[in-house]
Every structure is written in C-alpha cells, then in structure tokens.
Amino acid sequence: MSPIHPKQTARKEIYSGKIFQMVEDELEHEGRSFARVTVLHPGAAVFLPLDEDNNLLLVRQYRHPIGQMLLEAPAGTLEPNEEPLTCAKREIQEEVGMSAATWTPLGTLYPAPGFCSELQHLFLARDLTPAPDAEQDEDEFIEVVPLSIGEVEEKIHSGEICDAKTIALYYRYLQYI
Ligand SMILES: [Mg+2]
C-alpha cells in the first residue's frame, strides 16, 4: 500500500484551552471518509544550556500525564506569534535561573505527529550568566540538574533519561560539536 494524502473536508472544535485546541477533522480519499482527532499546539522551544565546566543543565520535574518525575532538557511553549528564540530566552530564566549570550539553532522536531501538530525548535545555549530575578511559573516546580556529557550518555543508556525531545536534542548537539 502506498501512502495517501487525503483531503480535509470539515473541522469541528472539541476543546479549546489555555495552551492547545483539540479538533476533529473529516478527511476524504477516493470516496471514503474518515475522522481524525488532532491537538493543535502553538509549538515550543527546547534547549540545552551548556555551562563553562561543560555540564549540560537539565531539569527534573513532575509530568502529570505519566505520573512520574522526568529529567529533561528545559523547554517552554510558544506564546501566540512568538519567535522561538524569544521563548527560549524567557524560559531559560524561568526554568534554569540563567541567561545565555550565545544561542545556536539545532533544527526542529515533531514530538508526536500522530495526533499533535507541535513543532519543537531546538537550541544550544552557551555563555551562561545567572539571572536570579526571574520568577518561575506558579504551576512549575523544577529542579536544575547539571550533568557532564558522560552522565547524560549513561542516563540515556540506562533509561533514566527517557524524554524523546531530550534524547533527540542531545543527538543534534553531538552532531554539532
Ligand atoms: Mg517548561
């Protein structure tokens, strides 16, 4: 079977929230119609802060959908029409308590294209300085975890780092250096 690109014939909103919408689309191909539920997401910035001792600054936080603490690259959701780099610069202050003078784009990722339109914009953040005045979002409780390259590798191999964007961004970083 070769892949097809069906035509969208209708859209119905199922849910509209603060961060994303959910829609049910009607698709059609050669007289057959079928429905797909999609999460419409504004996109995100994901970044690896690298400090002067060559540590990558990851964050540990509770992820309610899976009921677990995860160790991840810091990230934030884009505001409407926000540039990804603007978002990354805000989030590195909020989540890591730092600002970065040097930002390097490391491409983009689709984390869940089966049901979600989210596009993640990846960056390496270097030349860090403390930015202690930043306030965390009131519903985010985040611990910053500095890890050497070797420790990140070990935690990916052991499965402790199991967040897809973090593993993919780390791979992009290895290709870059
Ligand atoms: Mg975040």
**How far is ligand 1, taken at its centre, from the CA of residue 87, in Å?**
10
Does 134 have pLDDT greater than 70? no
Question: How many whole angstroms from 26 Cα to the centroid of ligand 1?
Answer: 33
Q: How confident is the model at residue 132 (pLDDT cuts 50, 70, 90)?
A: confident
Instruction: Walk across the sheet containing 44-49 and list its strands.
Output: 75-77, 44-49, 120-130, 98-109
- Report the pLDDT averaged over residues 38-46: 97
pLDDT at 133: 59
- pLDDT value of residue 56: 98
Domain containing residue 50: CATH number? 3.90.79.10
User: Do residues 59 and 35 both lie within one domain?
Assistant: no
Determine the average pLDDT of the residues in 92-101. 95
DSSP string covering 98-143: EEEEEEEEEEEE-S-TTTB---EEEEEEEEEEE-TTPPPPTT--EE
Does position 61 have pLDDT exceeding 70, yes or no? yes
- Segments forming the whole domain that contains residue 77: 44-176
76 CA from centroid of ligand 1 (Å): 4
Is 55 in the same domain as 34? no
- Catalytic annotation, pick one of 138, 151, 153, 154: 138
Same domain for 59 and 30, yes or no, is no
Q: State the distance from the centre of ligand 1 to the C-alpha of 91, rounded, in angstroms.
A: 7
Structure pTM? 0.93
* Whether residue 153 sits in one domain with residue 85: yes
Can 135 be counted among the known catalytic residues?
no
